[in-house]
Amino acid sequence: MTENGAVTVTRPEDPPEKAFETDGRPLPGMEVRAVDAQDRPLPAGEEGRLQVRGCSNFVGYLRRPDLDAVDADGWFDTGDLARIDAEGYVRITGRAKDIIIRGGENIPVVEIEGLIYKHPDVQDVAIVAMPDERLGERACAFVTAKPGATLTLEGVVDYLGQQHVSKNYLPEHLEVLAELPRTASGKIQKFVLRDLAKGLKRGA
């Protein structure tokens, strides 16, 4: 994140599952925590908004004193979702603004995207919220197919079912695009996809 310098790091002595599957532990002088919607710290292993505090925090935005950099206790809200295990290793799971709440239950967007990426016919994927009158939001998957492949909602859902994904987490609409919208640096523009999803109806 641009508002901080280095926050976490993996070390040479870290076991492979920590070095390759997490974002490391805080550097000396830095603290991290995951909090709920009321900014209450969460127990180890629970997903929440990632906040950081310490010597690498920036002091504010240039010529924007109206934007708060940190709270009264020095915590900066990164906008990321993360889990912090009992040993202090951080695993970023997504962005808070990308969260999908279906009938009061949070859908683990990054995890489901990761599984769909492994589908043999999928080239690229991004999941966003699709408004729903009854449940509030449902998951909509935007995908691109590999050359010569055909993707359907039923096929993707069947594939996820084989991975034992909870029914509540399954995409309920699938849109196949020639390519996903991206920034100049290659980052998927989910805000564009969210706008597209607003005009879609359940199913595909």
Please list the pLDDT of the chain residue by residue as tens digits (204 residues).
Answer: 677 788 999 999 999 999 999 999 999 999 999 998 888 999 999 989 999 999 888 777 777 777 766 788 889 998 888 999 999 999 998 887 778 889 988 888 988 999 999 999 999 999 999 999 899 999 999 999 999 999 999 999 999 999 999 999 999 999 999 999 999 988 899 999 999 998 886 555
Domains of the chain by start residue, with CATH = 8-96 (2.30.38.10), 99-197 (3.30.300.30)
How far apart CA 36 and CA 48 sit, in angstroms, is 5
Q: What is the pLDDT of residue 69?
A: 64
Q: What is the pLDDT of residue 64?
A: 78
pTM (predicted TM-score): 0.69
Q: What is the pLDDT of residue 203?
A: 53
Strands (E), 6-89: 8-9, 25-26, 30-35, 48-54, 76-84
How far apart CA 176 and CA 200 sit, in angstroms, is 13
Q: What is the pLDDT of residue 97?
A: 78
The b-or-e profile of 120-153 (16+ CB within 10 A means b, else e) is ebbebbbbbbbebeebebbbbbbbbbeeeeebeb
Q: What is the pLDDT of residue 131?
A: 92
Q: Which residue, among 141, 145, 155, has the nearest Cα to 179 in the 3D structure? A: 145
Radius of gyration of the chain (CA): 19
Q: What is the pLDDT of residue 202?
A: 59
